Amino acid sequence: MKKDKILVIGACGQIGVELTLALRTIYGVENVIAADLREPNQLLQGSGPYISLDVMNKEALWELIVDNGITQVYHLAALLSATGEKNPQFAWNLNMQGLLNVLEIAKKEKLSKIFWPSSIAVFGSTSPKQNCPQQTIIEPTTVYGISKHAGEFWCNYFFMQYGVDVRSLRYPGLISYKSEPGGGTTDYAVEIFHHALKNKYYECFLKEDTYLPMMYMPDAIRATLELMEAPAEKIKVRTSYNISSMSFSPKEISLEIKKHIPDFSITYKPDYRQTIADSWPQSIDDSTARNDWDWKEKYDLATMTNDMLKNLKL
C-alpha cells in the first residue's frame, strides 16, 4: 500500500465519488479523506473518512491539511459550465479562489502533488473545431472556460515559481452511472441513459448534430491516476493536458441506445446550453498526453453504451 495521505475536495460530485473510491483501493481507506460541502454521497457513506469543508475557508482547509498530515490534494470543487452561466460572479470566485487557496497551502506546506482538473471548455469558437490541438488559439466565452483557462496558468505559475508539482487534465464531457453530473453542458449524455431506461423517451437540450468530445468515467479515473503516478520528468505540460477518447452527437448516441432499447425515441429542444456547446471543439487531439505519459482510452461509444445500460439496469 502506498504511503501518501490524500485529501479529495469536492468528493461528493460526479468525479469525486469514483475517484475517492479508486484512491482508497490504492492508498488504503483511512489514508483518503473525502471533503465536500454536501452530505456524503451514498456510495461514500461508511467507506472511509469524510469531513465537511468549504474550500473557500482557507484557514479551515489549512488546518485540515496540517492536522491530518495530508501530502496530496485532488481539488475538484467547482461550478460547471451551465450553472456557471447562471451565476458568473459566484462561479469565478469559487473556481479561482478555491484553486488559489489549495495552491498557496501546497506551496507553504510543501505538499508532494496536487491534481486540479481543467476542461475542454477552455477552448472557444476561434479554436479549431476538429482535432483541437494541445496548443492553439484559446479564447473561451463562458465564465467556466475563462476560470479554467486562468486556472491552468496559475498551476503553471506555481510549478515554475515555487516547484509545486501540480498536474492537470482537460477532461471532455464525462459519462458515468455511479454519480450524477453537476450542471454541465455535456450532462445530456448521462441523462439520456436514465430517461431511456425509465421512459424510453428523452427530450435533449442540444441539437441532434451537436458533436462534443466525451469520455467514459472509468477511462477518466484511470487517466487521472496514471497522470498522478507518472514520473515528474514525463510531465512536460504544466498548464493542462488534452485527453480524448470519443466524440458523438445526440443523434449518434440515441441510435446506439436504440440498438439495446428499440422503442427508445428522442426529440430536441435546444436551450441556452446550445450556445455553450457550439463554442467548444467537436474533437480533441491528445497526442501530447499519449506521447508524454502513454495515455490511451479503452472505451468507445458502443462499449460505453453497453456498459452504462448494463450497470444502470442492476
Which residues sit at the interface with ligand NAD, rule CB under 6 A?
A: 9-10, 12-16, 36-38, 53-56, 76-78, 80, 94, 117, 119, 171, 173-174, 181-184, 186
Place of cell 520528468: 233
Nearer to ligand NAD, 48 or 183 (CB): 183
Per CB under 6 A, 215 contacts ligand AKB: no
Per CB under 6 A, 184 contacts ligand AKB: yes
Closest by Cα among 35, 107, 30 to 64: 35
What is the identity of the amino acid at 310? K
**Do residues 251 and 209 make contact, with C-beta atoms less than 8 angstroms apart?**
yes
Nearer to ligand AKB, 144 or 202 (CB): 144
> Minimal distance in Å, beta carbon 25 to ligand AKB?
25
Per CB under 6 A, 105 contacts ligand AKB: no
**Do residues 126 and 137 make contact, with C-beta atoms less than 8 angstroms apart?**
yes
Determine the size of the site formed for ligand AKB (CB under 6 A): 10
Per CB under 6 A, 141 contacts ligand AKB: no
Phi and psi, residue 284, nearest 5°:
-125, 135
**Binding-site partner at residue 54 among ligand NAD, ligand AKB, none, CB < 5 to 8 Å by type:** ligand NAD
SS3 letters for 183-228? CCHHHHHHHHHHHHHHCCEEEECCCCCCCEEEEEHHHHHHHHHHHH
Which among 27, 50, 74, 144 is annotated as catalytic?
A: 144
Per CB under 6 A, 140 contacts ligand AKB: no
Nearer to ligand NAD, 35 or 164 (CB): 35
Q: Determine whether 144 is an active site residue.
A: yes
Closest by Cα among 67, 63, 66, 7 to 31: 7
Other C-beta atoms closer than 10 Å to the C-beta of 91 total 23
> Minimal distance in Å, beta carbon 82 to ligand AKB?
6
Q: What is the set of active-site residues?
A: 144
